[in-house]
Amino acid sequence: MEEHGSASVAAGPASGAGLALVTGANNGIGKEIARQLLSCGFTVYVGARDAERGQAAVGELGPGARLLVLDVTDPRSVEAAAAQVPALDVIVNNAGVSDLGQTPVETEVDTLRRVYETNVFGVVTVTNAFLPVLRRSARPRIVNVSSGTGSLGWSTGPNPQFDHRVGGAGAAYRSSKTALNALTVYYAQTLAEDGFKVNALAPGLRATNLNARAAESGGDPAEAAAGAVRLALLPNDGPTAGFFSWDGTAAPW
């Protein structure tokens, strides 16, 4: 599990019915985020690249879940999806891919491109495409699912929590999440005057299909999802431009 900082995020309102989009929501943390938002009264667009898998998730999640087929790496797919959404209050940019745990000297440039296409460029593509409808919301929120491995603070110093000897994700994944953190800050600053709250989440190691280490971790995706939902429900005086661990405490950049 990831270490935690000292500054805690206050929980948002217990209920806040609205419209939310969760990318990569047909499995893992994304599906749990969708499930918990539904329980808070949201209607949730279940973003999925594969229509069949997305529909299966919608059937499992039940009333209030709506399939939205979109491939975050395909601008045309994202534009077509955005045209189907008349209103939105929350975007959770959850879709992500990993690499083979390679160091920078082992990593092919094509691997970097593939990982960044989803983890960085995909977030920009989705966020920008849905901004027009999100701007209509009285409480617009954007949550970017990042990673503790993207933290430079946790990756450096005399006893780093994450370094090249820690298995799982490698240079492409980790640096993509560092880039995502930087984008989170820039979006937050740019959109602050419009009432947006834009934050990044370090979900901790969870039992998902991200990579072999995650699959074997035993970490509960629902626990991480609760952290994302907390950021999605932030009150108007809540933080923005922050990086928070799954339990609401501040994570080092």
Give residue 135's pLDDT band: very low, low, confident or very high (50, 70, 90).
very high
Instruction: For residue 116, indicate whether it is catalytic.
Output: no
Mean pLDDT of the chain: 89
Give the pLDDT confidence of 168-180 residue by residue, as tens digits: 678 999 999 999 9
Give residue 1's pLDDT band: very low, low, confident or very high (50, 70, 90).
very low
pLDDT of residue 10: 45
Domain boundaries, the chain: 19-245
Q: Which of 45, 116, 173, 187 is catalytic?
A: 173
**Range of weakest confidence among 73-77, 183-187, 217-221:** 217-221
Instruction: For residue 31, indicate whether it is catalytic.
Output: no
- Tell me the C-alpha distance between 38 and 18, whole Å: 10
- Per DSSP, the residues of the chain read -----SPBPPP--S----EEEETTTTSHHHHHHHHHHHHTT-EEEEEESSHHHHHHHHHHH-TTEEEEE--TT-HHHHHHHHTT-S--SEEEE----------TTT--HHHHHHHHIIIIIHHHHHHHHHHHHHTTSSS-EEEEE--GGG-HHHHSSSS-SS-TTS-S--HHHHHHHHHHHHHHHHHHHHHGGGT-EEEEEE--S-SSSS-HHHHTT---HHHHHHHHHHHHT--TTS--SEEEETTSBB---
pLDDT of residue 214: 47
Q: Other C-beta atoms within 10 Å of 58: how many?
A: 23
pLDDT of residue 38: 98
Tell which wins on pLDDT, 155 or 195.
Answer: 195
- Topology of domain 19-245, CATH: Rossmann fold (3.40.50)
pLDDT of residue 164: 65
Q: Which of 177, 186, 187, 197 is catalytic?
A: 177
Give the pLDDT confidence of 29-51 residue by residue, as tens digits: 999 999 999 999 999 999 999 99
Give the pLDDT confidence of 78-130 residue by residue, as tens digits: 999 999 999 999 999 999 998 877 889 999 999 999 999 999 999 999 999 99
Residue 211 has pLDDT above 60, yes or no: no
